[in-house]
Amino acid sequence: MRLLVGLGNPGGEYELTRHNVGFIFTDYLADRHGISLKNEKKWDAEVGRGTLWGQPVMLVKPLTYMNRSGLAVGKIARFFQLEPTSVVVFQDELDLPLGACRLVQGRGAGGHNGIKSLMDHLASRDFVRFRIGVGRPPAARAAAGFVLARFSPAELQVVDKLLPFLEEGVEMLLKRDLQAAMNLVNASTGADLQESV
């Protein structure tokens, strides 16, 4: 089984914020494939089990807030005796422009507290990460405020266009392997998606 983990913060005030792009994509996958997400208190997460492209998966949205995401993911991974390489994470990434994505494994946290928490609780950095670009804030704006702000309507159009491409990356990962998925995802700059911004 693969854990497909979207990072974000729970609660209506965080909906459609840049920090919650992992939640946005996880909801998209659940809707597209008929997987029902339910609040499971024992996991401190919303979870849904199903099959994607012939592979058993559990979709996970930790409800522990971003900086403690590893608490929920670590519990689930230990219970099902999953290796870190079976965990696939969808995260926001300041260092990539809006519409871009990079698929990586075994890299450092890059200042992302949710990723740091996962590394701590999985005792590994070997999980797979879809780093979903949200862009950098203007020079005068702090990064924390920027990621907790909602996407503009024009930015949401870019995100909406990106979601099917991310789904293709997950499909390639599950049907083939990590290298094939990286070849697909990492070849795109996202520039073609930004025409609406």
Whether residue 28 has pLDDT greater than 70: yes
Of 19, 33, 112, 121, catalytic: 19
| pLDDT of the residue at 197 | 52
Annotated binding site: 14, 65, 67, 113
| pLDDT of the residue at 141 | 79
| pLDDT of the residue at 190 | 78
Q: What is the mean pLDDT of residues 26-38?
A: 99
CA dihedral defined by 13, 2, 190, 163, rounded to 10 degrees? -50
Could you report the per-residue pLDDT of 83-142, keeping only the tens digit for each?
A: 999 999 999 999 999 999 999 999 999 999 999 999 999 999 999 999 999 999 887 778
Whole-angstrom CA distances from 27 to 34, 97, 107, 178, 184 are 10, 22, 26, 22, 22
Rounded Cα–Cα distance for residues 22 and 95 (Å)? 16
Which CATH number is 2-196's, of 3.90.420.10, 3.40.50.1470, 3.40.50.300, 3.30.930.10?
A: 3.40.50.1470
Whether residue 31 has pLDDT greater than 70: yes
Identify the CA nearest to 1 among candidates 88, 126, 64, 115. 88
Using 50, 70 and 90 to split pLDDT, how confident is the model at 158? very high
| pLDDT of the residue at 71 | 98
Could you report the per-residue pLDDT of 52-76, keeping only the tens digit for each?
A: 999 999 999 999 999 999 999 999 9
Annotated binding site for tRNA: 14, 65, 67, 113
Q: Determine what percent of the chain is predicted with pLDDT higher than 70.
A: 98
| pLDDT of the residue at 138 | 84
| pLDDT of the residue at 53 | 97
Q: For the CA atoms of the chain, what is the radius of gyration? A: 15
Indicate the domain borders of the chain. Answer: 2-196
- Helix, coil or strand: residue 13: helix
Query: DSSP character for 106?
Result: S
| pLDDT of the residue at 195 | 60
Contacts of 45 (CB under 8 A, 6+ apart): 39, 60, 61, 62, 63, 64, 72, 73, 76
Backbone φ and ψ of 77, nearest 5°: -60, -40
Catalytic site includes residue 19: yes
**Average pLDDT, whole number, for the chain?**
95
